Amino acid sequence: MVLLEVIVLHNETNVQRIILIVSYIIRGVSILLIGIFFIALFSEGGHFSDPHFENHDFFLLFFIPFLYSIGVFYSFKNDLVSGIIIFLSFIGFNVVISIVEQASSVTIYYTFILIPSILFVSLYLFKKHEAVRQDEYSSLFGDYEQLNQNYKIIQSMMEITPELLKDDNLDNLLQMILEKAIEVIPKAQTGSILLRNKDQMIFRAAVGYDLEMLKKVNLHFEDMYQYKLGNLYEPTVIQDIRTFNSKNLDPQKTKDLDSQDALVAKSVLTCAITVRDEVYGFINLDNIEDINAFQDKDKMYIKHLAQQVEMALRNQILVEDIYKLSKYDTLTGAYTRKQHQALLKEVYDKAKKSKTPFSICALDIDYLKIINDKYGHEVGDNYLVLFSKVILEQLQETEFFSRTGGDEFIVICPKCNKLDADKKMKEMKKIMGQYPLIVGKESIPISFSCGTATYLEDSEYLDELISLSDKRLYLKKSHRE
């Protein structure tokens, strides 16, 4: 790219040098010809041996050399004017002679005077051709520069794509994308990425700013540049961000941003990040030195980059969705059986190493089959969802809840002895009674049976603990029935 620009500049310089030399040559030829003209004029008119001027000679001098000299020596914007003036001086000179001599027809004298006119017109045509060629080249070069910039953006995103498979941390990914954006967008020096969480806008990546401090700034979707401008989806350049915010943003929020040095940018290039046809966030690239740093072509670059970001985010969201499907039951939000087994093994290994208890609480929903038969499976699903919601709300951070069958669930309580586990289940049953399922005008109470087994108190072997919790569960269900 740099080599190509050097070659172009070299060629342009050579052409300009040639044009300048040719221009000097034409003027030299013009001076030579005017000299020949005067020698011929005096010789043929008899003035040479006896120099004198007649009245009409002064009028002829207006055309040659006065008008002729203007055409030769005055620097017009284009050489066509010089050629036309010289041509008019030639025509005017010959017309005056014809009038003075009262000739019945116009006789053309000194046609060599037309040579500078032809040369100037030729030079004009050459310059025009060169200008057209240069415009065509500039257009092609602009297209090439655009393609080259797009290639850099795509190449940067291709470097990021493998990271999607290695790193499921969205913040790390966004930080990497922002750093790449500042590398490939001309004159971008600092920047940030904000993602939308309902009506809140959260800073998730930053270059040149303190990200943790920016996260403390309370911004809403309505505070965004694009929202204020009424242009959510198209890239925008904002000049003098401090003045813009002082006019459009809440004074306290402006003060908060200013305290984090987030308003130092002279020019901001911003573009929305859309996912599934909704604004997911914004990417902002800043220049802190030049108010005119970003041009219209940069809007195209950041839009292309934002589209690449959107693809990366869609992939990330898809991976997260697949990951959630493998971890969570889609109906109840509880862990799947496979995830449950992995988490239980982890809890067991830690308890075995530290010699601390943990409890397995096997749960089975009462009367689910009867509800399905009487009200239908949709109501049965709502019954399961409400049951799971109440359980999940009562769990501590270290505890987890899994669905292992249609109406079978397990709660794992790390560092919890048998007495505390039984107490916890009793409390959950009591709370569950406060949240019946409403079907039309009916109120259906939710209840469940439970069997617990505790590491160290009941057994030191995981298989025995699982089996024991199941036996105790079904023993309680049989008594209920």
Which phi-psi region, left, alpha or beta, contains residue 102 (left: φ > 0; alpha: ψ -120 to 50)? left
Residues 341 and 298 in one domain: no
Q: What is the pLDDT of residue 137?
A: 76
Range of the domain at 358: 337-480
Task: Using DSSP, state whether 40 is helix, strand or coil.
Answer: helix
Q: What is the pLDDT of residue 389?
A: 94
42: exposed, middle or buried (C-beta count within 10 Å: 0-12, 13-18, 19+)? middle
Q: What is the pLDDT of residue 450?
A: 95
For residue 274, what is the enclosing H or E element?
strand 267-275
For the chain, how many structural domains are there in total? 3
Q: What is the pLDDT of residue 93?
A: 80
Rounded (10°) angle between helices 170-184 and 296-327: 160
| CATH number of the domain encompassing residue 189 | 3.30.450.40
Residues 461 and 359 in one domain: yes
Report the C-alpha gap between 149 and 92 in whole angstroms: 58
| CATH number of the domain encompassing residue 359 | 3.30.70.270
> Could you tell me which residues are beta bridge partners of residue 364?
408, 449
Residues 421 and 469 in one domain: yes
Rounded (10°) angle between helices 296-327 and 337-354: 70
Q: What is the pLDDT of residue 160?
A: 65
In a domain, 50, yes or no: yes
Structure tokens at 139: 């257009």
Q: What is the pLDDT of residue 2?
A: 44
Q: Which residues contact 453 (CB under 8 A, 6 or more apart)?
A: 359, 360, 362, 459, 464, 465, 466, 468, 469, 472
In a domain, 456, yes or no: yes
Q: What is the pLDDT of residue 75?
A: 75
pTM (whole model) above 0.85: no
Report the C-alpha gap between 83 and 89 in whole angstroms: 10
Residues 268 and 392 in one domain: no
Q: What is the pLDDT of residue 48?
A: 47
Question: Which residue, of 91, 111, 134, is where some domain finishes?
Answer: 134
In a domain, 108, yes or no: yes
pLDDT in tens, the chain (481 residues): 444 444 545 456 777 888 888 888 888 888 888 888 777 766 655 444 555 555 566 667 777 878 888 888 877 777 888 888 888 888 888 887 777 776 666 667 778 888 888 888 888 888 888 888 887 777 777 777 777 767 776 776 677 666 655 666 778 888 888 888 888 888 899 999 998 888 888 999 999 988 888 888 888 888 887 777 777 888 888 887 777 777 777 777 777 777 766 677 888 899 988 887 788 889 999 998 888 888 888 888 788 778 777 877 777 777 777 777 789 998 999 999 999 999 999 999 999 999 999 999 999 998 898 999 999 999 999 999 999 999 999 999 899 999 998 899 999 999 999 999 999 999 999 999 999 999 988 999 999 999 999 999 999 999 999 999 999 999 988 766 5
64: exposed, middle or buried (C-beta count within 10 Å: 0-12, 13-18, 19+)? buried
